[in-house]
Amino acid sequence: MNIIITRALNMEFEEKDLAAKVFHGKKDKLLYILELSYKKYYNLLYNYGLKLTNDSELVQDFIQEIFTKLCKRENIDNISNIKIYLLRAMRNIIYDYYVAQKDIVSIDDMEFLIPDAEVFKTFFSKNDEELQKYQTLLQTINSLPNQQKQILYLFYIKGLTHKEISEVLDINPQSSMNSLAKSIRKLRIQFGQISEKYRRIYFVNIRK
């Protein structure tokens, strides 16, 4: 099947999605593309937002605000990757909210919320040795700085590259790589050679 690559959004749309649509000017096409983007990335934004605040209604409001602002623009030619733009917008809007509430003074103060170790008890028996390992892994990850936790999440679960992570978090790619390396070293000190299984099991439970 032929695929149209919309470079401004770094997204793939099936040809029929655009070819079958009659647009009345650039604005009409822009709104349609944003509608597709909303459907494609809503869950991504919602889940990421809930890692930065535990207020689900607030996150939903922020998603609406982000897309409302985009819809008011004449074009999005300067957005090279819509997914990364949206993630960064979500991070920034939550930060601005907490600054306005005087809850934080620096973006480094933003927590990155992850489930308590109790979450694993729904998947494993209380005496399960594996459960204890997962809980210890979770506690170790919880002890990491917030930015390191975000990088672990964005790299291993969301599949972002270090370049993309750097754009979301406003750091350079080398800093992202260094931070990830530090996190893995700490985990390896705690557990020895951390297997892919443990990394995946942990993050499977914070996808939602």
Per-residue pLDDT of 23-73, as tens digits, reads 667 788 888 888 989 999 999 999 999 999 989 999 999 999 999 999 998
Query: Residue 91's CB: how many other CB atoms inside 10 A?
Result: 20
Distance CA 62, CA 188 (A): 37
- Residue 77 sits in the same domain as residue 14: yes
- Residue 77 sits in the same domain as residue 142: no
Q: Among residues 79, 89, 77, which one has the least CA distance to residue 26?
A: 77
- Residue 134 sits in the same domain as residue 165: yes
Instruction: Return the pLDDT at 141.
Output: 83
Highest-pLDDT range among 57-71, 111-125, 178-192: 57-71
Give the three-state DSSP class for 116: coil
**Among the three residues 75, 100, 125, which one is the final residue of a domain in this structure?**
100
What domain count does the chain have?
2
CATH number at residue 168: 1.10.10.10
Instruction: Return the pLDDT at 146.
Output: 92
For residue 58, give its domain range: 3-100
- Residue 18 sits in the same domain as residue 96: yes
What is the widest separation between alpha-carbon atoms in the chain? Answer: 64
Distance CA 39, CA 47 (A): 14
Instruction: Answer for the pair 160, 171: CB distance below 8 angstroms, yes or no.
Output: no
Instruction: Return the pLDDT at 41.
Output: 95
Within a domain: 22: yes
Query: Residue 98's CB: how many other CB atoms inside 10 A?
Result: 17
Query: Residue 89's CB: how many other CB atoms inside 10 A?
Result: 19
Which of the two residues, 75 and 64, has the higher pLDDT score? 64
Within a domain: 82: yes
- Residue 18 sits in the same domain as residue 93: yes
